[in-house]
A and B are shown apart, each in its own frame.
Chain A
Amino acid sequence: MKQLFGGGIHPDGHKDMSRGGAAVPVPAPETVVIPLCQHIGSACKPLVAVGDAVLMGQKIGDGEGRCSPVHATVSGEVTAIEEREVPGGAKVLSVVIRNDFKDARAEAKGAEDYMSLSAAEVAAMVREAGVVGMGGAAFPTNSKIASNEGKTETVLINACECEPYITSDDTIMCTCPGDVIGGARLLAKALKARKSIIAIEDNKPEAIAALRAEAGEDELVEIRVLPTRYPQGAKKQLILAVTGREVAPGARSGALFNVTTTANIFRAVTKGQPLLEKIVTVTGDGANAPQNVLVRIGTSFADVIKAAGGIAEDTKQVIAGGPMMGKAVDTLDVPVVKGTNSILCLTKACDAAADPVCIRCGKCASVCPMYLQPLYLYRYAKAGDKEMLNEYYLNDCMECGCCSFVCPGKLPLTETFVQAKQLLKGGK
């Protein structure tokens, strides 16, 4: 199959390591840590106080503006509201709950006639359930639903999962295709679109089969198989691959939902179920038994790893997310948050060369999906030349890592661009 967007790379997938079977539930931990900001936007205010008893599924934080509420994922007692480290290193105000192991649930009620709800109604339910984008950005999903009603002909469902190693989306498609297809139909209907297109890469044959079987001859859902290539799951690249159109700089990319998000939308609307658990892929050559696990949000990485068979002694790096764009953590004492799709354990940290030399091979430019010139951007970043950085559109860089991946001189290209963007913002 011909590739459908420019640039990109073919890293080893390593997906078979963790693929297959249902996600194994991780036992609920003694305590959960629920950060009050697990999305892009303003943080929640706590709705509970230390000492309060909470029910599983009870809303414990909410706020105004672009904010997505958070819920207790176990029943028990609030023991602290304090700053805790989250994956990525930031310290975020969090509600700490001691589990009473009763799993006493807050009441939840879904809509019965879910296919006739308006976008506003769906958005409200999705917001109440605390659903955020699971593809990485963790954008509050309700705003996307509300703002795209009637504005789009097709709803795009991103099932590419193009990062190597990760198979959590794959698992949800194989084990809960009903939720995925249901969510896709619901979104198409609510947004008044003609149909939803589920875009999936051809390295997930079982998921494709499961979705096809579930969808049948439904006119509201199309399953579009794309040739595997990283970063096809990036917004603009996916839109280009599916529609043939390039999204203009600064333009909003419209109705695009991650596949796990879509399933969660379905659950939120039909069952009134808040987002309490996540499928997380524990994998990498450092993982003793790579697999997918079902985790309550707020469970620490350490607990998840223990339940998933532990990691090798010589594990050098633990990454929240995939190897291309994930964030390395410095401690396992961080909670799984809504956006955590993988805990990747590697026995080899890939250090940039001590003395990297650009040989001007041009490979970085040829793989850049945004058509940038990493070799020149790197020079300008090193020289602190803001004008040229702008002229070469540094801010178009989506930090996909392709350039750093291919560079034979092992230059820290992506790494440098992340910093240079701060420079352009006026920081530092």
Chain B
Amino acid sequence: MNLTVSAAPHIRSNETTRKIMLDVLIALAPAMIAAVIFFGVRALVLTAISAAACVACDALMGLALRRKADCVGDLSAVVTGVLLAFSLPVSCPYWVVIIGDAFAIIVVKGLVGGLGQNVFNPALGGRAFVMLFWPAAVTRFSLDAVSAAAFGTVDIVASSTPLQTMSRSVLPEASLLDMFIGNIGGCIGEVCTLALLIGFAWLLYRGVISWRIPAAYVGAVAVLTLIFYRGDNALAWMLYSVMGGGVMLGAIFMATDYATSPTVPAAQIAYGLGCGVLTVVIRYFGIFPEGVTYAILIMNAFAWALDKAMPVRRFGVMKGGAGK
């Protein structure tokens, strides 16, 4: 009998990277459904193309760099593709999203070492890249769902999103209920707060993420917009600020990206707060109405440093002496 000798532990949980990514995709499903309802089937096609492009790029990178091309199986590229599409308007041309995907997977993720090694969130990196070169594709929104045909070119009926209205210090016309269910202009995956919250609940239930980063992020945005409100209704200003734009999508799905966020609990709080503060600062003082992308990308750079900056809690060593 040939016995295998290996070091303990000799059993492992059946948790895998693939299962975690699958949970993220499941959590994104409600927002996808909402997007199809409000923006039409083109939202789905754009997302599917984006996911496919990311998977293709990931496989290419795996082959080119002779890294175990397990990367396709782990579904992380699919998540990147979906998130990138979710952060674009439904009218975005397909070729633009594909360029964004290629940049995200090849440059932001692949060239720095692949899964888990990247400093910046690939989806946001890809979005920032297309925003730099094709700003119109990213910032012009079509409100009219039906006009955004699934195939062929799209007539962009430029219309304004709640955030664009708010950048003129005016509250949007959409009701708070519309804001909550997503009956507003905006990027594919960001409009339906309800759907995003359902996804958040799933992620918490499955233990994929903790509440810390999203809560700190949304909390910071809420508090700041409540204090520094514009117009005459602080509470309404705060609610529109939280639900209009990418805060929810960013806080729940982007800022919690494992590779680019801290793992130490206290650092996660600090990181979430940082994202929130930067989002509001960029919205108020930047050239774009939205600040989520850059806020998270900036905080990405500090993720590892924040982990290290937090005091290490050692077993048996209490703050302020003995005790519980």
Contact = CB atoms under 8 A, between A and B. Distances in A.
Interface string A4-27: 000001010000000000000000
B1 interface: yes
Interface in B163-210: none
Contacts of B8: 323-328, 399, 401, 414-415
Contacts of A410: 12, 16
Given A236-B316, A357-B114, A329 B6 contact: no
Contact of B9 (A325, A329, A351): A325
Interface in A142-176: 164
B135 interface: no
A116 interface: no
A359 B11 contact: no
A359 B116 contact: yes
Contact of A164 (B11, B263, B313, B322): B11
Interface stretch (A59-67, A78-86, A207-215, A245-253): A245-253
Interface residues of B, number: 39
B13 A11 contact: yes
A113 B95 CA distance: 91
Interface in A351-407: 351-352, 354-355, 357-363, 365, 369-371, 373, 375-376, 391-393, 396, 399, 401, 404-407
A346 B259 contact: no
Given A358-B116, A359-B20, A404-B9, A249 B3 contact: no
A244 interface: yes
Q: How big is chain A's contact interface, by range? A: 35 or more
Interface stretch (A44-52, A182-190, A198-206, A314-322): A314-322
Contact of B315 (A392, A396, A407): A396
Contacts of A350: 6, 9-12
Contacts of B317: 246, 248-249
Contacts of A326: 8, 10
Given A248-B316, A328-B3, A393-B314, A346 B116 contact: no
Interface string A232-268: 0000100000001111110100000000000000000
A408 interface: yes
Contacts of B6: 317, 328, 349-352, 415
Contacts of A9: 13
A251 B315 CA distance: 12
Contacts of B318: 246
A388 B8 CA distance: 24
B314 A401 contact: no
Contacts of A362: 258, 263-264
B313 A319 contact: no
Contact of B1 (A247, A315, A323): A315
B13 A317 contact: no
Interface of A: 9, 11, 89, 164, 236, 244-249, 251, 313, 315-319, 323-332, 344, 346, 349-352, 354-355, 357-363, 365, 369-371, 373, 375-376, 391-393, 396, 399, 401, 404-410, 412, 414-415, 418
Interface of B: 1, 3-13, 15-17, 19-20, 67-68, 70, 76, 114-116, 258-259, 261, 263-264, 307, 312-318, 322, 324
14 contacts: A236-B315, A244-B324, A245-B322, A251-B316, A315-B1, A318-B3, A328-B3, A328-B4, A329-B3, A350-B6, A359-B116, A361-B263, A401-B8, A404-B12
Given A249-B316, A408-B20, A410-B16, 20 more contacts: A9-B13, A11-B11, A236-B315, A248-B316, A315-B3, A316-B4, A326-B10, A327-B8, A328-B5, A328-B7, A328-B8, A349-B4, A355-B67, A360-B259, A361-B258, A361-B263, A363-B15, A405-B12, A415-B7, A415-B8
